[in-house]
Structure 1
Amino acid sequence: MYNILFAIAAYLIGSLSFAVLVSKLFGLSDPRTYGSKNPGATNVLRSGNKKAAALTLVGDGFKGWLAVWLAQKFGPHYGVDDTGIALVTLAVFLGHLWPVFFRFVGGKGVATALGILLALDPWLGLATLATWLAVAFAFRYSSLAALVAALFAPFYYGLLFGTTDGILLAVVAMAALLIYRHRKNIGNLLAGKESRIGDKKKAAK
C-alpha cells in the first residue's frame, strides 16, 4: 500500500518541469516551442540565458534525488521496502518524461536520472557522471554522452550491489527509457547531423 503511495508522490514530484517553470520565472519562451522542443536544460540554454539553464539542470536533478531520498528516509517507517524504492525510482523518472502538470510533455531525463542515481548511492551517481563527462569532453556530443552513461549505469549498479537487487531492474528500465527518448538524437548522430556542445544556436525570441 505505502509502496504505491510513495510511488504516486514520486511521480508528482517528477512532474514538476523546471525547464518550463524557470523559463516562466525568467520571462523566456516556453522551451517546448523552440529548438529541440525538449523541456530540459540543454534546450533552455538555447535561449541564451545560462542562469536559467543552470537552474533547470539543478532543479531537474534535485527532484530526482529528493523523491528517492524521501522514500529511503521515511519509507522504512511505513514498511516501504526495496520494491518500493524501485517503484519510486521509476515513478519520479516517468513523471519527468510524461508530467501530469504539463500535458504529459516532458524532457529526456538526463539530469533527473543523475539525481536518482546520486540518491541511490553517491558512488553510483559519480561514476555515471564521470562517464558522461569523459564522453562529452572527448566527442562534444551531449546526447552521445547521455546514451553511453545510460548504458553504463546498470553495469555500475551491478558492480556495487550485485545483480539480484530489484532496484537494478528499475535502473535498467530507466536507462532503456532514456535511450528511447534520445531516438531522434541517435538518428542525427548516425546521419552526422547532431549538434555539438558549444555550437551556437539561434536564441529563442
Structure 2
Amino acid sequence: MENLLPVAVVLGSYLLGSLSFAVIVSRLMGLSDPRSYGSKNPGATNVLRSGSKKAAILTLLFDALKGGVPVALVLAFGPAHGLGAGTAAMAGLAAFLGHLYPVFFGFAGGKGVATAVGVLVGMNGLLALAALCTFGIVLFFSRYVSLASMVAAVFAPVYYLFGDGVAWQANGAEVLALSVMALLLVWRHRENINRLLAGTESKLGSKKP
C-alpha cells in the first residue's frame, strides 16, 4: 500500500493544480471568464484586465498556494511515511502541470508563473528568494514581465545546484522537476518570445494604444 502512496500524492497534487482559480474566482465574483478576453490566459495578469484588483490578487495567491502546499505537506509529513524531497518535488511538478493542463477545464490552463513560485517557496525559501530577486533585477532593467519570468525560471535549477550544500543538496528528482518547469514555462511564453524578438512586447507601465 505504501508503494502507491507517492502515486496518490502526485495524482492529488495534479488534481489540486487543475483548479483554475482565475476562472473560479472570476465566477464567484460575477466577472467575465478570463478565457474570453485579453490574452485569454487564465491567470492573475489577465484577470487584472477585468478591472478587479481583488480578483487578480486572490487568483495570484491561490495559484501560488496550490503549488506550494503539496510540496510543504510532503516535506513536513512525508518522512514518517517514507516520502522524501524527491516526492515533494514531483508533487510540485504535478501541481504545475495541473495548472498548465487542468483536467477540470479542458486541459487549457495558464502559463504557470505563480504556481511555479509557490513550488519554489515550498521547496526552499532561499531558492524562491533567489528566483524572485532575479525576476526583480531583470524586470527593473528590461521592464518586460515575461522576460523576467522566463529568466528567473531558467535560473532556478541553477541556483538549486550551486546553492548552499546543506540547505540545497543536489537531488536528481528536484533538479529534474525544476528543469522541466523552466522548459514548460518558457514554452508557454513562446508568443511573448516572438513579440520580444519583434520588439512589440508590452513593457511594464506602458499603455497600449
Calculate the TM-score normalised by the size of structure 2: 0.91
Give, as a single letter, the amino acid of the residue that structure 1 aligns with 2:51. Answer: G
Deviation of the 1:194 alpha carbon: 1.1
Deviation of the 1:77 alpha carbon: 2.2
* C-alpha separation in 1, matches of 2:196 and 2:53: 25
Alignment of 1:50-89 (within 5 A): 50-89=53-92
Please name the residue that 1:42 is paired with: 45
Please name the residue that 2:188 is paired with: 181
Please name the residue that 1:199 is paired with: 206
* C-alpha separation in 2, matches of 1:12 and 1:6: 10
Give, as a single letter, the amino acid of the residue that structure 2 aligns with 1:156. Answer: Y
Pick 1 or 2: higher relative contact order, CA cutoff 8 A, min separation 6.
1
Deviation of the 1:201 alpha carbon: 5.8
Deviations 1:129-171 (A, max 9, x none): 1111121122211101101101111111112235454311111
Deviations 1:113-143 (A, max 9, x none): 0010011000000110111112112221110
Give, as a single letter, the amino acid of the residue that structure 1 aligns with 2:103. Answer: V
The change in CA–CA distance for 1:151 and 1:169 in structure 2 (over 3 A counts) is: same
Give, as a single letter, the amino acid of the residue that structure 2 aligns with 1:180. Answer: W
SS at match of 1:180: helix
Deviation of the 1:64 alpha carbon: 0.7
The change in CA–CA distance for 1:44 and 1:65 in structure 2 (over 3 A counts) is: same
Deviation of the 1:183 alpha carbon: 0.7
* C-alpha separation in 2, matches of 1:70 and 1:192: 43
Give, as a single letter, the amino acid of the residue that structure 2 aligns with 1:194. Answer: E
Higher mean displacement: 75-84 or 19-28: 75-84
Alignment of 1:86-125 (within 5 A): 86-125=89-128
Calculate the TM-score normalised by the size of structure 1: 0.93
Give, as a single letter, the amino acid of the residue that structure 1 aligns with 2:197. Answer: L
Give, as a single letter, the amino acid of the residue that structure 1 aligns with 2:105. Answer: F
Higher mean displacement: 36-45 or 76-85: 76-85
Cα RMSD between the aligned structures?
A: 1.5
Higher mean displacement: 160-169 or 175-184: 160-169
Unaligned runs of 5+ in 2: none
4+ residue segments displaced more than 3 Å: 162-165, 199-202
Which of 1, 21, 30 does residue 18 from structure 1 map onto?
A: 21
Residue 166 (structure 1) aligned with residue 173 (structure 2): yes
SS at match of 1:47: coil
Give, as a single letter, the amino acid of the residue that structure 1 aligns with 2:173. Answer: G
Deviation of the 1:176 alpha carbon: 0.7
Please name the residue that 1:151 is paired with: 154
* C-alpha separation in 2, matches of 1:54 and 1:79: 36
* C-alpha separation in 2, matches of 1:2 and 1:201: 50
Q: Percent identity?
A: 55
SS at match of 1:12: helix
* C-alpha separation in 1, matches of 2:51 and 2:205: 12
Kept in 1: contact 2:192–2:201 (CA 8 A): yes
Kept in 2: contact 1:31–1:37 (CA 8 A): yes
Higher mean displacement: 44-53 or 77-86: 77-86
